């Protein structure tokens, strides 16, 4: 029954005047956050699960904090979700109500759900009600259900217990020397683990503060890092944009040089971008490796060697091993022998909501989680990710996207008779989504704009194809299975 946020629930008021959250011009101290979250927590306390319309805003941060104080599970919704994806998430997670900013337009899919407006200006000063301050939930209770894509089918809801959040954030505090004196800046979305758990709950657990950029820009990074922020979190696409801007933005170079810690995650940071940032600023970006289902597994430590191209060493409490195809441990940690990463520890989720089959398939009999990531490990423990087991998972801009869900959406378009989706290298996004389509009417094939709009409206804009190829037929093997390796554009 321990509190996730000691600085909010401590009761002695020592942190009350310290800054907690800042979004644009609006900010809250710990005292103000407790006063804003208290009434919301009181209003949701009888609910089992609430959805939060997770715009990058103060309202979202207050809503999530309040629900967690009340011991209620949060389902963060991507506010750009299309109708199909939103419908699936709502019917799968069955929230009791949706929390949103006052005046926020919500799509029809949410019309049948009770709504609670969260207004950070609506405050009940004073200490939190006693039972909230003490923490109402058990450590094993679910805190979040975060939807994540698989190779096929719609996204699955990863059930993340309170214990995993506390454990992962405390392990990162150890690895990064992260304290209440740190001021974090980022522009990450708040419906995934990176932006929400690390980027908002992280500073709140430490008693420090976060300044959210609303949307990522290098100008915003410069402004905040030269105005008191100490840490930057981002996906590799953001660091790539930073690296590109260094030559023309000398203030950015200076701001980065003065930061305490620059952290990249959610996908591999290309060594070239790493080196460009190091050469210009003298600072090395630290990489950490995580997953929605496992939260954080490894990191380069603040006091360790930043070896570019590696994701560092296992975090305290995390067991990590590399296994062969048959599940046996690889013969050697020699920096060359490749195996699948499996992890075990208190940072892990408890399972996929309503999907016991998928949950069972994700774990070995003795509780190791199969990440699907392929890696080598040096003798001194450093892990280097070299690829992914499933070619049908695409990482674009740090978002994980399943080829199957895009193929299904494309097939719902009347102009598409057959469809296959692949990822191809992209300097900015890491990978970009490519659609290979056999048109229903060869004389009038659907355009890229049409199909991108179609996928964005059903799933989400980041899942839209960025390249389209029309084909007369898809390459198939004797079994009729599409041979994606044969899909190459010359
Ligand atoms: C474009 N847009 C459209 C369409 N085309 N909207 C509707 N229909 C269309 N056809 C809109 C978009 O909605 C968006 O609107 C704008 O155009 C630009 O979108 P996009 O092209 O997607 O932006 P981008 O520049 O490519 O985005 C790059 C990005 C983004 C900012 C780096 O990819 C991003 O935020 N990535 C973060 C992903 C992340 O947090 N992953 C963590 C999960 P508007 O202009 O309104 O925005 S992984 C994780 O959590 C694990 C645990 C881990 O390890 O971290
Ligand atoms: P998600 O399911 O969206 O949480 O994405 C998790 C996946 O992102 C992992 O399984 C990895 O494939 C990838 N990932 C996260 N961090 C890193 C990193 N630092 N380097 C390479 N891949 C990463």
Tens-digit pLDDT profile for residues 275-330: 999 999 999 999 999 999 999 999 999 999 888 899 999 999 999 999 999 999 99
C-beta separation of 180 from 209 below 8 A? no
Q: What is the DSSP string of 40-84?
A: HHHHHTT-SEEEEE--SSHHHHHHHHHHHHTT-EEEEE-TT--HH
What six digits make up the tokens of 431? 């990978």
Domain ranges of the chain: 6-202, 393-486
Tell me if 237 CB under 6 Å of ligand 1: yes
Partners of 24 in the beta sheet? none
Give ligand 2 pocket residues (Cβ under 6 A).
Answer: 148, 193, 265-268, 287-292, 311, 371, 373, 385, 388, 395, 400
Spatial distance between the Cα atoms of 40 and 122, rounded to a whole number of angstroms:
9
**Can you name the CATH fold of 6-202?**
Rossmann fold (3.40.50)
Task: Give the nearest ligand 2 atom to 292 CA.
Answer: 4
CATH superfamily name and code, 393-486: ANL, C-terminal domain (3.30.300.30)
Q: What is the pLDDT of residue 306?
A: 84
Q: What is the pLDDT of residue 490?
A: 58
C-beta separation of 449 from 414 below 8 A? no
Tens-digit pLDDT profile for residues 188-246: 999 999 999 999 999 999 999 999 999 999 999 999 999 999 999 999 999 999 999 99
* Cα dihedral value 100, 101, 107, 109, nearest 10: 10
Per-residue pLDDT, averaged over 113-130, amounts to: 87
- The CA 270 to ligand 1 mean position distance, Å, reads 19
Instruction: Collapse the DSSP code of 257 into the 3-class scheme (helix H, G, I; strand E, B; otherwise coil) and give the result.
Output: helix
Tens-digit pLDDT profile for residues 39-90: 999 999 999 999 999 999 999 999 999 999 999 999 999 999 999 999 999 9
Site to probe by mutation for ligand 2, drawn from 292, 293, 373 as the one with most ligand atoms within 8 Å of Cβ, is 373
């Amino acid at each position: 029954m321990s509190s996730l946020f000691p600085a909010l629930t401590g009761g002695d008021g020592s942190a009350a005047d310290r800054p907690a959250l800042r979004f644009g011009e609006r900010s809250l101290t710990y005292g103000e956050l407790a006063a804003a979250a208290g009434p919301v927590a009181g209003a949701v306390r009888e609910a089992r699960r609430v959805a939060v319309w997770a715009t990058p805003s103060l309202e979202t941060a207050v809503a999530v904090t309040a629900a967690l104080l009340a011991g209620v599970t949060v389902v963060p919704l991507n506010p750009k979700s299309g109708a199909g994806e939103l419908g699936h998430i709502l019917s799968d997670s069955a929230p009791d109500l949706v929390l949103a900013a006052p005046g926020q337009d919500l799509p029809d899919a949410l019309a049948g759900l009770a709504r609670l407006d969260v207004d950070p200006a609506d405050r009940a000063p004073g200490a939190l009600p006693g039972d909230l301050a003490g923490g109402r939930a058990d450590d094993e209770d679910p805190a979040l259900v975060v939807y994540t894509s698989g190779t096929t089918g719609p996204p699955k809801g990863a059930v993340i217990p309170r214990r995993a959040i506390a454990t992962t954030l405390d392990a990162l505090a150890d690895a990064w020397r992260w304290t209440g004196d740190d001021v974090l800046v980022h522009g990450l979305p708040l419906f995934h683990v990176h932006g929400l758990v690390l980027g908002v709950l992280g500073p709140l657990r430490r008693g420090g503060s976060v300044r959210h950029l609303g949307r990522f820009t290098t100008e915003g990074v410069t402004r905040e890092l030269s105005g008191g922020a100490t840490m930057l979190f981002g996906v590799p696409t953001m660091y790539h944009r930073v690296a590109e801007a260094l030559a023309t933005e000398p203030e950015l170079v200076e701001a980065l040089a003065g930061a305490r810690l620059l952290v990249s995650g959610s996908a591999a940071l290309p060594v070239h971008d790493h080196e460009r940032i190091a050469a210009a600023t003298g600072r090395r970006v630290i990489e950490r490796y995580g997953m929605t289902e496992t939260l954080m597994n490894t990191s380069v430590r603040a006091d360790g060697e930043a070896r570019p191209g590696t994701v560092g060493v296992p975090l305290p409490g995390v067991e990590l091993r590399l296994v062969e195809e048959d599940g046996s441990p690889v013969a050697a940690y020699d920096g060359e022998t490749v195996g699948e990463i499996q992890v075990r520890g208190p940072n892990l989720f408890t399972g996929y909501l309503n999907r016991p089959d998928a949950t069972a398939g994700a774990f070995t009999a003795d509780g190791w989680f199969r990440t699907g990531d392929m890696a080598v490990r040096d003798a001194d423990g450093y892990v280097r990710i070299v690829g992914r087991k499933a070619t049908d998972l695409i990482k674009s801009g740090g978002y994980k996207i399943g080829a199957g869900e895009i193929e299904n959406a494309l097939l719902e378009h009347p102009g598409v008779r057959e469809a296959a989706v692949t990822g191809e290298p992209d300097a900015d996004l890491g990978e970009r989504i490519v659609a290979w389509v056999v048109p229903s009417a060869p004389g009038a094939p659907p355009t890229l704009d049409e199909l991108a709009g179609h996928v964005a409206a059903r799933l989400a804009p980041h899942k839209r194809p960025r390249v389209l190829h029309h084909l007369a037929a898809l390459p198939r093997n004797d079994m009729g299975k599409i041979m994606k390796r044969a899909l190459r554009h010359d």
